[in-house]
Amino acid sequence: MRNSSTMFYLTFFILLPINILGYIQRTRPLVTRPGASYSSPLLSSPSPNDEARSLQEQAEKLRGEVAAFERSKSAEIDEAYAKKRVAADTRQKKQERHSAVVPINKGDGSEIMERVFFRPLLGDGSRIVAVEARLPLGAVLGEHETIAGATSVDDLDGTGNAASAGIEVGDVLRACSACQVTMTQPTWQLIVGGIGQPKTNRMMFDVDFKPFEEVMAAVGSNRMDPEGRAVWLVVERA
């Protein structure tokens, strides 16, 4: 009986250090080399490498969001610019469609070619056409059936000068060249009271809402042109 008790105590004291050593090995950190890190199951904190990696990921995400925002704003700016460009092009085309380059008398007898704009009478889809044609025109002009005060081309001689220049039946006359005789007086005649000398000037005549007889007189006045130049006709075409 004494031998059995002695054997039990010996076994207990022998195994006790072994169990304690095993518990210590399971709970204490395992260091394999200097500078190595480990994570304790009871208490852990992020390593400097993990923190740096996290900051780098956040920075990359922020840069991506900024780049996406800049692309979005750039797209909005491009779209707004494109809309403005389309609107400007539309206005320019409309102005070009409703304008013509014609000779303008500058007052001193000289002429300069300038672009003149006309408010459309036949709608925004119409266009302005300017031609030169010699008299006689071979065209029948009349008062427009639906636009009061407007003059239209009612008929044409297919081989006449107006048709050859590009005038069409249904065109609305908007302007034409006209000649006017004025009296000019040199300085010495002004002193002695002279009557002056006649001078013929050519100018562009706006025929909109003018009496039909006045329009016909303006067209016919081109026969007085001392240079014998062709008549300028500006028409609006639907």
Q: Are 121 and 147 in contact (CB under 8 A)?
A: yes
Question: pLDDT for 21-67, tens place per residue?
Answer: 454 455 444 444 555 444 444 445 667 788 888 888 898 998 989 88
Tens of pLDDT, residue by residue over 76-88, are 888 888 888 887 7
Among 50, 52, 47, 51, residue whose Cα is nearest residue 35 = 47
Question: Other CB atoms closer than 10 Å to residue 67's CB: what's the count?
Answer: 10
Q: Which amino acid is at 76?
A: E
Look over the chain and give the mean of its residue pLDDT values, rounded to a whole number.
Answer: 82
Phi, psi angle pair for 103, to nearest 5°:
-75, 130
Taking phi over 0 as left and psi of -120 to 50 as alpha, with beta for the rest, 123 belongs to: left
Q: What are phi and psi of 77, to 5 degrees?
A: -65, -45
Distance CA 145, CA 141 (A): 12
Give the tens place of pLDDT for each residue, 135-182: 999 999 999 999 999 999 999 999 999 999 999 999 999 999 999 998
- State the burial class of residue 212 (Cβ atoms within 10 Å of its Cβ: 0-12, 13-18, 19+): middle
